[in-house]
Amino acid sequence: MKLQDRVAIVTGGARGIGEGIARAFAEEGAKVAILDLDGEAAAATAAAIGNGAIGFACDVAADGEAKAGVARVVEHFGGLDILANNAGAGRGPIPTENVQFNAGVENSDPVGWDETLSQNLRTTFLVTKYAVPHLKARGQGSIVNTSSIAGITASPALAAYAAAKAGVISFTRSMALELAPALIRVNAIGPGFLYTRAWEGMATLMQSSNPAFANLTPRDVFLGIVKQGVPMGREQTPEDIGKLAAFLASEDAKNITGQFISVDGGITLR
């Protein structure tokens, strides 16, 4: 129970990696608040993980909603100790028809670019901005940002996403230095290959646009990529990310700040 009675916010925590983080926090004794675009799913996940967790709809890319969401959590639980900035990806389903997976920069959509940066970088900035005063009021705290291995590798097929996640890493380092005197630690995690909704969408897109994958399910496409691209030969899971996030949020990591840690089975070693 390394996080006993700590109050934690997890953005984008209704499912996938965010749910893995929320569950790990609750298992270590934290009181968790899940902020997600899907309020119904957020409430259901909160009910499932228990320990007094709450979940509600909040668009953390919107200034007013991010501020109000943090204030609601602090009012409900009486303070804030941990922030997990996990909200990311984009809104709605990934299109699977008439789309080139690697379209190139000249064919990129500026609206999609802005949306991707908003959902993956602006979200991290806004919630951090409104959480920091409450973390300072506790005399210490921990912020764990979900970045991606795409943030440290060349990813022409996902240029906007990679740029946003690289921005999360840089923001993490800057905030770690700024907030160190307040004993607020800031670290980032780089998930590898996890079969989340985002990866399912990409695998579906690849399956529909590549004749070699025509007879495969999106899951099979993903597992083939794992086998080919992960040195350890196995996929990563939300539980893997959650356990690291819980460690980074705990006193066991009291002198760890400004770090980016990949959980990728060795992908980025190549």
What does the mean pLDDT of the chain come to? Answer: 92
- The predicted pLDDT at position 100 comes to 41
User: Is a pLDDT exceeding 70 seen at residue 8?
Assistant: yes
pLDDT digits (tens, 9 = 90+) for 249-262: 999 999 999 999 99
Burial annotation 88-123 (CB, 10 A radius, 16+ → b, else e): bbbeeebeeeeeeeeeeeeeeeeeebebbbbbbbbb
Residue 257 CB neighbour total at 10 angstroms: 21
How many domains does the structure of the chain reveal? Answer: 1
Distance CA 265, CA 270 (A): 11
Q: Is 70 part of any domain?
A: yes
CATH of the domain at 249: 3.40.50.720
Q: Is 193 part of any domain?
A: yes
Q: Is 2 part of any domain?
A: no
Give residue 83's pLDDT band: very low, low, confident or very high (50, 70, 90): very high
User: Is a pLDDT exceeding 70 seen at residue 93?
Assistant: no
Q: Is 38 part of any domain?
A: yes
User: Is a pLDDT exceeding 70 seen at residue 96?
Assistant: no
- The predicted pLDDT at position 99 comes to 39
Q: How much is the average pLDDT of 203-228?
A: 89
- The predicted pLDDT at position 199 comes to 84
Show the tokens assigned to 5.
Answer: 């009675």
Distance CA 5, CA 112 (A): 40
User: Is a pLDDT exceeding 60 seen at residue 91?
Assistant: no
Q: Is 151 part of any domain?
A: yes
pLDDT digits (tens, 9 = 90+) for 163-211: 999 999 999 999 999 999 999 999 999 999 999 888 888 888 888 888 8
Show the tokens assigned to 83.
Answer: 């922030």
Distance CA 196, CA 215 (A): 21
DSSP per position, 181-193 = GGTEEEEEEEE-S
Q: Is 101 part of any domain?
A: yes
Distance CA 51, CA 153 (A): 38
pLDDT digits (tens, 9 = 90+) for 119-176: 999 999 999 999 999 999 999 999 999 999 989 998 877 888 899 999 999 999 999 9
- The predicted pLDDT at position 102 comes to 53
Radius of gyration of the chain (CA): 18
- The predicted pLDDT at position 144 comes to 98
Q: Which domain does 204 fall in, by range?
A: 7-269
Active site residues: 161
* Residue 146 three-state SS: strand
Give residue 7's pLDDT band: very low, low, confident or very high (50, 70, 90): very high
Residue 226 CB neighbour total at 10 angstroms: 21
Q: How much is the average pLDDT of 72-92?
A: 88
Distance CA 232, CA 22 (A): 26
Q: How much is the average pLDDT of 24-47?
A: 98
User: Is a pLDDT exceeding 70 seen at residue 20?
Assistant: yes
- The predicted pLDDT at position 205 comes to 84
- The predicted pLDDT at position 206 comes to 84
DSSP per position, 53-100 = -EEEE--TTSHHHHHHHHHHHHHHHS---EEEE---S-SSPPP-SS--
Q: Is 59 part of any domain?
A: yes
- Compare 202 and 1 and report the one with higher pLDDT: 1
Distance CA 162, CA 150 (A): 5
* Residue 199 three-state SS: helix
Give residue 53's pLDDT band: very low, low, confident or very high (50, 70, 90): very high
Q: Is 1 part of any domain?
A: no
- Compare 99 and 265 and report the one with higher pLDDT: 265
User: Is a pLDDT exceeding 80 seen at residue 103?
Assistant: no
Q: How much is the average pLDDT of 67-82?
A: 98
Q: How much is the average pLDDT of 229-249?
A: 97
